[in-house]
Chain A
Amino acid sequence: MSGFMNRLRAAGLCAALAGLALPAAHAALAPWSALAGKTVLFVTGGADSPTPNDDTRVARHLEQLGLVVHTVDAAAPASDADGTALIVLSSTANPHVLGDKYADTPVPVFTWNTYDYPNLGLTGPVLHRDFEVIDPTQHYADSFAVLYGYGANVTSEISRTVGLKAQLFGTLYLEPETAGWGRPGPGGTVIADFNGMSDHAAVFTYERQASLADGRVAPARRVGFYLGDDDFHLLTAAYGPAANDPNMRSWAIGLKLFDTALRWAASPPPAMPAYDPSALEATLRHAARGRKLLFVERKDAGEGAEADEHIVAHLRGLGFTVTVADQSDPQTMAQGQDLVIVSGTCSKWKLANKYADVSIPLISLEGLMSDTMHFSGYDRYVDYGEHGEERESDDPAENYLDIVGAWSPMAAGLKPGLVKFATDPGVLKWARPLPDAIVIATLPNEPQERAIFGYPKGARMAGGFVAPARRALLPLDNPTYDELTPQGSALFDAVVLWTIGD
């Protein structure tokens, strides 16, 4: 009887799971029709606004998009945002008057008030390092450079909707203009940048529950945009016959980027996943059924052999059909497989460049292969590196991670902030991926050292490589799997689930 009941429960669970989609990389945008009639709080400088400015044009544009615009000045109380769908902060509002009043507001914020970025926690506080406003008076030469943006991210919903490519585009029409940039924290997503420098982000976002640059957590979506006071009307767009020219259409995207980023901000964010290892495992078990997995290891490994065995056993237990390959086996071993996992026991020297270009999803448990896998640049200890390896790292052993992308299913529902990843301090690898990567965790106090991240399919990876399928880094040095905490194990399952979720 109990066996029958177990089968019945299992059948019910499977039926429920059958309705679950595998995790998407990014949440979908709401259609404009769903936003029509929503109220936007438009915060400007009011009577103190510098002139000329485009605030009136912006307000009219928002109304043309179907939004109801409630304009207030910088001194208005934050409570004015209650019940609104979006806060739009113009650069004409005095950032010192604005202060941080909207920082904790659980209403999305779309801002081009660059000087207010630090108040919102979108960037660090240091002018010229963390944020800057380029204007023709102070920076005449640079004010030409900001007429050109670079598509840093091609896989976010904003990027895909706009058709953003990893190439230059026109930001503003052709005269030296004022524009701002910011350097978001690791929880942010750089959509477009200036000069190809992702730390000079022209357009960047934070998903709800993403960690902000100041360590706080975004209470709702946040968007930073490059506009100045009076250049909204110069946001590029192509009309008439030019709108049918693919080159011009992909060049003149400033206004489309503005509209889409605004729509993204006002769209409902994805539901925050709950931390529930059992449910996660059940979902992964369902997804694993019928999938073939190639586990690549060093078969004569000493230290990590036992951990590798346990990883393989866990994967088989989930339902994957696992084939174990040695690091020296040919890449053809991946043919017919659904997922490749490269163990941390593999020697970078022996694995060489294998599997980097496989057309199926891949997880690397070895951070030091980030260069060969196109996860990062080639500069060891700059583009990728490690903590805790004697004689190879100046950084101490570590067993905690800082969750900065709690919103992603890859974060297993863990809350933002520090999480104990392994039971004891040990070796932890990291890399600096490109802006297309979704960053889940960094090393503590090292926001540039990203430990867990994933590239969606089609992402621009290092060296111009385009991800043929999802890619993920999960740093598990030789024995670390056996030392994972329950949270660490949940991260393992979540990363596997995300990676096969193309």
Chain B
Amino acid sequence: MTRVSRLAVAGTCAVAAAAMAVSVPAVAGALPFGIAHRIELAGGSPVAALAFAADGKLAYAAAGDELQGFEVATGAPAALVKSPGTVVALASSPEAGGTLYAAVGTPARLLFLSQRPLRVRSSVAVRGGPPSGLLYEPGEHALYVESRVGRSVTRLDSRSGKAIAVAHLQGAPAQMAGDGRGTLYVANTATDAIDVIDTDKMMGIGAIPTPDCHAPTGLAVDPVGRRLFVACGNGTALVIDTDMGFAFEQLPIQKAQAQRTVFAFHPGGPGGWKGGAFIAGDGPGLDAIRMNAFISYASGGSMPLSGRVTAMAVSPSAEQLWIAIAPREGSGATGSAAAVGESRQESAVHILALAGSGGGAP
């Protein structure tokens, strides 16, 4: 593993984006975030999941059967733990002095780890199929384990690991998000809708259609729980008012088949955006939706990337957005030198820690 720390400024990315304008179907201006660290990972396994500790001081990456901890401030490695299987999803909570949850695909288990030091504390078997996603809801002391293969979401007690209930899904579940107030949303690529689950009963209570937004995969909800950010395969993103189930904003993004979405208020610190949703996957780059006001959104810019994004996490505490990048399939290890100002031609598995330019709205 090598680490390159350099506090790139927003201008770096702007130049990079401009250089990529021909090959990347950029839909907006340059993303006003710069590279705080570039962390290269040895081993070649793509990063399946990223998570921040609640205080924003540590970040975790799951690659293959390794769980790695990093100091957010420096990008320096802080810990390494072996898992009994390939970790497919991570979540973090402040419970018990800081807990990291890791979903293992095969055998299907959920690991409970202490964060300082990073150690496996316990584990439980997971029913409902091999896990594919993990979500922690602090207000509910709940963990939601999604299985796309098993078409299910299992609710567990985040303290005991006890399974409480399972919701069975139809179609093709993709990313899930929760509002922390008893509602879970699951993107459904097969039905062009967001399935809505009542977490008390773990039962579906409806579906929100995603008009003009086909094959939704990426999904995030703001911490208030009233805005859903949806990324769709046809190059469209939606902002949905959850109280009405109404998609009131439609924005262009880059086309991709498997996208993830994350959202945070003040993602670049208090002087930056009021809020931002970030979208990336197997497309050519990273897109952002900027929250101007609670009812006003605009394209926040895009950033061409040298590979596909396999994981993302954002932390307002850390004031950073981390994205894990792996070589595109079939593309070898090549990438664009211009992409995000990276000086190296190869695009091995690595993590980019992005920070807002701060000091006023980008």
Task: Tell me the minimal C-beta distance from B173 to chain A in angstroms.
Answer: 16
Complex interface: chain A residues within 8 A of B244 (CB): 236-239, 242, 248, 252
Q: List 23 A-B contacts (CB under 8 A).
A: A57-B212, A173-B241, A173-B246, A174-B295, A175-B296, A233-B250, A234-B248, A236-B244, A236-B246, A238-B244, A238-B246, A239-B208, A239-B244, A239-B246, A240-B196, A240-B207, A241-B183, A241-B205, A242-B244, A244-B205, A244-B206, A248-B243, A252-B244
Complex interface: chain B residues within 8 A of A24 (CB): none
Task: Tell me the minimal C-beta distance from A92 to chain B in angstroms.
Answer: 19
Q: Is A241 touching B206 in the complex (CB atoms < 8 A)? A: yes
Complex interface: chain A residues within 8 A of B245 (CB): 238-243
Complex interface: chain B residues within 8 A of A237 (CB): 244, 246
**Per-residue 0/1 for A227-267: is the Cβ within 8 Å of any B Cβ (1 yes, 0 no)?**
00000011011111111100010001000000000000000
Complex interface: chain A residues within 8 A of B295 (CB): 174-175
B280 at the interface (CB under 8 A from A): no
Q: Main SS of chain B's interface residues?
A: strand
Q: Is B196 touching A241 in the complex (CB atoms < 8 A)? A: yes
Q: Is A243 touching B206 in the complex (CB atoms < 8 A)? A: yes
Task: Tell me the minimal C-beta distance from B239 to chain A in angstroms.
Answer: 11
Task: Tell me the minimal C-beta distance from B38 to chain A in angstroms.
Answer: 39
Complex interface: chain B residues within 8 A of A242 (CB): 206, 243-246
Task: Tell me the minimal C-beta distance from B51 to chain A in angstroms.
Answer: 28
Task: Tell me the minimal C-beta distance from B362 to chain A in angstroms.
Answer: 22
Q: Interface residues, chain B, CB within 8 Å of chain A? A: 183, 194, 196, 205-209, 211-212, 241, 243-246, 248, 250, 295-296
Complex interface: chain A residues within 8 A of B211 (CB): 233
Q: A239-B244, A239-B246, A252-B246 are in contact. List 9 more A-B contacts (CB 8 A).
A: A236-B244, A237-B244, A239-B206, A239-B209, A239-B245, A240-B196, A240-B205, A241-B245, A242-B246
Complex interface: chain B residues within 8 A of A252 (CB): 244, 246
Task: Tell me the minimal C-beta distance from A168 to chain B in angstroms.
Answer: 15
Complex interface: chain B residues within 8 A of A174 (CB): 241, 248, 295
Cα distance A460–B3 in the bound complex, in angstroms = 73
List residues 69-117 of chain A with CB under 8 A from any CB of chain B.
Answer: none
Complex interface: chain B residues within 8 A of A248 (CB): 243-244
Q: Is B194 touching A240 in the complex (CB atoms < 8 A)? A: yes
Cα distance A242–B241 in the bound complex, in angstroms = 10
Most buried by A among B196, B209, B245, B248: B245
Cα distance A160–B246 in the bound complex, in angstroms = 23
Cα distance A401–B207 in the bound complex, in angstroms = 55
**Per-residue 0/1 for A157-189: is the Cβ within 8 Å of any B Cβ (1 yes, 0 no)?**
000000000000000011100000000000000
Most buried by A among B196, B244, B296: B244
Smallest CB-CB separation from A173: which chain B residue? Answer: B248
A-B contact count (CB 8 A): 52
List residues 95-146 of chain A with CB under 8 A from any CB of chain B.
Answer: none
Complex interface: chain B residues within 8 A of A238 (CB): 244-246
Cα distance A237–B209 in the bound complex, in angstroms = 11
Complex interface: chain B residues within 8 A of A57 (CB): 212
Task: Tell me the minimal C-beta distance from A274 to chain B in angstroms.
Answer: 47
Complex interface: chain A residues within 8 A of B212 (CB): 57
Task: Tell me the minimal C-beta distance from A241 to chain B in angstroms.
Answer: 4
Most buried by B among A173, A237, A241: A241
Cα distance A240–B209 in the bound complex, in angstroms = 8
**Per-residue 0/1 for A174-214: is the Cβ within 8 Å of any B Cβ (1 yes, 0 no)?**
11000000000000000000000000000000000000000
Smallest CB-CB separation from A238: which chain B residue? Answer: B244
Most buried by A among B207, B209, B241: B241
Complex interface: chain A residues within 8 A of B241 (CB): 173-174
Complex interface: chain A residues within 8 A of B296 (CB): 175
Cα distance A175–B296 in the bound complex, in angstroms = 8
Cα distance A240–B206 in the bound complex, in angstroms = 5
Cα distance A175–B246 in the bound complex, in angstroms = 14
Smallest CB-CB separation from A64: which chain B residue? Answer: B211
Complex interface: chain A residues within 8 A of B207 (CB): 239-240
9 closest pairs, A vs B, by CB?
Answer: A239-B245, A240-B245, A240-B208, A240-B206, A241-B206, A173-B248, A242-B245, A241-B205, A239-B208
Most buried by B among A57, A233, A244: A233
Smallest CB-CB separation from B296: which chain A residue? Answer: A175
Task: Tell me the minimal C-beta distance from B282 to chain A in angstroms.
Answer: 28
Smallest CB-CB separation from A248: which chain B residue? Answer: B244
Smallest CB-CB separation from A57: which chain B residue? Answer: B212
Cα distance A292–B250 in the bound complex, in angstroms = 62
Smallest CB-CB separation from B294: which chain A residue? Answer: A174
Cα distance A57–B211 in the bound complex, in angstroms = 10
Task: Tell me the minimal C-beta distance from B336 to chain A in angstroms.
Answer: 33
Smallest CB-CB separation from A233: which chain B residue? Answer: B250
Task: Tell me the minimal C-beta distance from B206 to chain A in angstroms.
Answer: 4
Complex interface: chain A residues within 8 A of B209 (CB): 239
Task: Tell me the minimal C-beta distance from B99 to chain A in angstroms.
Answer: 31
Smallest CB-CB separation from A235: which chain B residue? Answer: B246
Complex interface: chain A residues within 8 A of B196 (CB): 240-241
Cα distance A475–B236 in the bound complex, in angstroms = 61
Task: Tell me the minimal C-beta distance from A292 to chain B in angstroms.
Answer: 51
Task: Tell me the minimal C-beta distance from A169 to chain B in angstroms.
Answer: 12
**Per-residue 0/1 for A328-369: is the Cβ within 8 Å of any B Cβ (1 yes, 0 no)?**
000000000000000000000000000000000000000000
Complex interface: chain A residues within 8 A of B205 (CB): 240-241, 244
Task: Tell me the minimal C-beta distance from A449 to chain B in angstroms.
Answer: 43
Cα distance A241–B200 in the bound complex, in angstroms = 15
Cα distance A173–B196 in the bound complex, in angstroms = 22
Cα distance A380–B209 in the bound complex, in angstroms = 53
Complex interface: chain B residues within 8 A of A234 (CB): 248
Task: Tell me the minimal C-beta distance from A366 to chain B in angstroms.
Answer: 48
Most buried by B among A240, A248, A252: A240
Complex interface: chain B residues within 8 A of A243 (CB): 206, 245
Cα distance A243–B246 in the bound complex, in angstroms = 10
Task: Tell me the minimal C-beta distance from B222 to chain A in angstroms.
Answer: 16
Cα distance A198–B349 in the bound complex, in angstroms = 65
Smallest CB-CB separation from B207: which chain A residue? Answer: A240
Task: Tell me the minimal C-beta distance from A245 to chain B in angstroms.
Answer: 9
Complex interface: chain A residues within 8 A of B183 (CB): 241
Complex interface: chain A residues within 8 A of B250 (CB): 233
Cα distance A135–B209 in the bound complex, in angstroms = 29
Cα distance A239–B207 in the bound complex, in angstroms = 7
Cα distance A78–B248 in the bound complex, in angstroms = 35
Complex interface: chain B residues within 8 A of A239 (CB): 206-209, 244-246
Cα distance A414–B212 in the bound complex, in angstroms = 50
Task: Tell me the minimal C-beta distance from B267 to chain A in angstroms.
Answer: 23
Complex interface: chain A residues within 8 A of B248 (CB): 173-175, 234
Cα distance A238–B246 in the bound complex, in angstroms = 6
Smallest CB-CB separation from B243: which chain A residue? Answer: A242
Cα distance A174–B227 in the bound complex, in angstroms = 14
Complex interface: chain B residues within 8 A of A175 (CB): 248, 295-296
Most buried by B among A234, A242, A248: A242
Complex interface: chain B residues within 8 A of A241 (CB): 183, 196, 205-206, 245
Cα distance A270–B20 in the bound complex, in angstroms = 63
Cα distance A238–B243 in the bound complex, in angstroms = 8
